[in-house]
Each structure stands twice: as structure tokens, then as C-alpha cells.
A and B are shown apart, each in its own frame.
Chain A
Amino acid sequence: MRCTIVPPHMLERVLEGSADPELRALALRTLRLDAATRTERRLAGPVTQGNGRRDEPWRTVKDAMHLEELPGKTVRSEGQDPTGDPVADRAYDWLGATFRFFEDVYDRDSINNAGMEMVSTVHFGREYDNAFWDGAQMVYGDGDGRLFLSFTGPLDVTAHELTHGVTQYTADLAYYGQPGALNESMSDVFGSLVKQHHLGQTADEADWLIGAGLFGPAVRGEALRSLKEPGTAYDDPELGRDPQPGHMDDYVRTHHDNGGVHINSGIPNRAFHLLAAELGGHAWERAGLIWFDALTGGALYPDTDFRGFAAETVRRAAARFGEGSAEHGAVAYAWTAVGVAP
């Protein structure tokens, strides 16, 4: 959250109490500037949908003990010592890193912005090659050990799943077709941003991959998806080839995968990367903020499509950074480059 360093009441005291004309002039100018900024903020809407507090996480890790039954047995609650099970302890740590990102960067207090308990169940099933958000909690398999390693491994997997919760409590994008691909893209974008934030990376330092470290050593591929270059993450004799398009011309129409939600998410993913690359620096600060504003700002509907979301990001960029600002122009450019007219 942006804060002024010297609070207005202190500047007012300088004005009242100081005889030094230079100091008085400086204080007066700062107050005027501050007031103008506050007016600008009011016009632009709330700075975030946050609560202004620095909140703390409420984490619970459960163990399904290789059954496919939820929620499993609690093995670690908030503040408790490590369990000694590296899988459970990593799930706990990644929930913490994801919580800190949303809280410290966007002032969002957990999944529902009201301090909701974050529950992760680990060791779900046997050789289970998946992780998901079931509407109330996160669930992780250990992988089969050959094609897929444990889904608790990469931080961006946890951040991806938790973001499904954030989406559910905000825009609630339907999990089908274009709204579903947007839902997936939100999880990939913030999944990658959480990792970048954790590593302190700038847009050009980041790998922009989802699921790096998830494949077993024999798989030919670096990750499951690439926001930077959709369609290039893997090409393996057994798993096939990364099917993601990066442009509307290649949009995949299918009834599989809830209308291709994990396929067509490549299009908004690439738009986000183009924006972040254009703006440079830490991607969560400007590009991510615009996306977060759009997702949580209350203007989206469950059936919002790519075009509707693009238009909302353009509006949000203008509201946040000004009409005609570099950010405003870059958002419009990014969507046009992937064939979506905002």
C-alpha cells in the first residue's frame, strides 16, 4: 500500500508552530500535494480492496494418508513446529509465502480478504498426479514419481490453487470456456507473481513458467506452461506437446477440459507477460496491480469473456495510472498483440 512518510497532522503542526518561512512553504506545498494525491486516489477508487492492517496467516496442513478422502487428519496448525514430514512442512511454508504476497503487496487478508483459514491436504491418494482447489481448500498429490514429482514442490502450484480461491471470492469466473480460461489465467499469473516476489525477481529475470520442477527427470520439458511463450513448455514422447495458443487466431474449441480452460489460458497469460515485459521492474507492482484491480474490483461477472476482461484492465490502468499513461497504453497494446480487442 502506498503511504506518505510524514502524516498530514505533523505538517500542519509545522505550519502552525514554525516561524521559519522556508520550512512553512515546504510544509504547505507538501500538504497541497498530499491533498491532490488523496483526491486522485478517491477518484481512482480505493487503492486496494484491503483493510489497511498487516494481517497474519491462519494455516492448517492436513494429511490424507494416501486415501482419496478429504479433509484428512490435521498435522500442523498455525504457529506449530515443523512436523518433520518435508511435504507437509513445505505445504505450510508455501501457504505462508502466498499469504504474504497477497497481504503485503495488495493488502488482501487471505483468500476471502477476511482472514480465512487456508487449508492444504497433502499425500492425497496414491501416485496421484494432480493438485486442485475443491471450493474450500487445496489438495495435493505426491505424483507418480516418474512423470510427475510431488505437487507440493513448486511454490507456484500452491499459489495457483490459492488464487482459485481468491477468484471464487471475487469475480467468481465460471469454470468453462473463456471465463474458465480467464479463471485459469488468474491462477497462472498470480502463481508466477508469488514466485517472482518470493525470489525478488524483475520481469526480465523471471522464468514465467508454471510447474517448473514438477516433471520427473526423464520428461522432455521444463514446465507445464509458459506465460512468456505458450506452447513451448514441454514436448515429450509420452506426454505429448504443450497445446497452449498465444493468440486468438489459434484459440482451441473443444468440449474437453471444461472447454479448454488449461489450453486457452495461454492467450491472456501471454497478454500479461507482454504488459509486464513492456513495463519492466517488479511485475507485481504495476502489471499485477492492474490485473488484481480488475479481478477484485467488482466489475466482472461469472460470464466475463477475454474481451470483457481486457476492457476492464484498460479501465483499471487508466484509473490507477492516468488516462494516456504508459501503463494505460501498454495494457491496450498487450491485448491487441494477442488478438483481443479491448
Chain B
Amino acid sequence: MKVTVVRTGGFAGIKRKGRSDTADDPVLRSLVARVDLAAVRGRASGRRVPDQFSYAIDIDGEAVTVGESDLTGALRELVHHVLDG
């Protein structure tokens, strides 16, 4: 599975992008197994916080965009793994 994370916004407004594939990233494979994007979408507050980061996460074509305050649990680990890894 191909995973893409795009972080935008923040005070700086500078875009950062990360990409990884579960085929050669076993840590990502275990994280993807723990993330349910449909549940994330359902839970997201949709609250827009001035200057907070915005994250667009795409897992094999299924996409969701959340604010930093909605980035919790395994999804948070996944985002940092893909962006910083």
C-alpha cells in the first residue's frame, strides 16, 4: 500500500510531503493496520484552528484531511513516521 502525507498551513504556510510504501516499510505496515480512515473521518471535529497544521493523508487512494487537533493515536504515529522517516 502506498501512503502519502501532505502537511500544509501552520504559521509558516510551508508545505511538507512524505511518501512511503508498506511493501518495503514494515513499521508503516503495522501502523496502517491500526488506522481506520473512515473512523477518523467520522470522529474529526472539522474545527479550523488558526495557524495549526493541516494534514492530508492518502492510503492507497482513500484520503482524509484533518487538523492537528484531530491527529491522535496510530494516525499521529503514521503521519510522523511518513513525514520524518
Residue numbers of A with Cβ under 8 A of B are: 129-135, 148, 151, 157, 160-161, 164, 168, 174-176, 180, 183-184, 187, 211, 214, 224-225, 239-240, 243, 255-258, 261-263
Contacts and interface: CB of A to CB of B under 8 A. Distances in A.
A224 B12 CA distance: 6
A269 B51 CA distance: 17
28 contacts: A130-B52, A130-B53, A131-B11, A132-B11, A132-B50, A132-B51, A133-B51, A134-B52, A160-B51, A161-B11, A161-B51, A164-B50, A175-B49, A187-B50, A211-B11, A211-B12, A224-B11, A225-B13, A239-B14, A240-B14, A255-B56, A255-B65, A256-B6, A256-B9, A258-B48, A262-B10, A262-B12, A263-B13
B54 interface: yes
Contacts of A148: 12
B49 A135 contact: yes
B51 A164 contact: yes
Contact of A133 (B13, B50, B53): B50
A161 B12 CA distance: 12
B41 interface: no
Contacts of A129: 10, 12
A65 to B, nearest CB: 19
Contacts of B15: 240, 243, 256-257
A151 B8 contact: no
Interface of B: 6, 8-15, 48-54, 56, 65, 69
Contact of A131 (B6, B9, B14, B51): B51
Give the one of A130, A148, A211 with max B CB within 10 A.
Answer: A130
A263 B48 CA distance: 16
Contacts of A176: 48
B11 A157 contact: yes
Nearest to B51: A132
A175 B50 contact: yes
Given A240-B15, A256-B56, A257-B54, A134 B49 contact: yes
Contact of B10 (A130, A164, A187): A130
Nearest to B52: A132
A264 to B, nearest CB: 10
B13 A262 contact: yes
Contacts of B8: 256-257
A258 B54 contact: yes
B49 to A, nearest CB: 6
B29 to A, nearest CB: 26
A122 B21 CA distance: 36
Contact of B48 (A157, A160, A175, A211): A175
Given A256-B6, A257-B8, A130 B13 contact: no
A300 to B, nearest CB: 16
Contacts of B13: 224-225, 243, 257, 261-263
A239 B56 CA distance: 18
A263 B12 CA distance: 10
Please list the 5 inter-chain residue pairs (A to B) with the smallest Cβ-Cβ separation, ordered nearest first: A262-B13, A132-B51, A175-B48, A256-B8, A257-B8
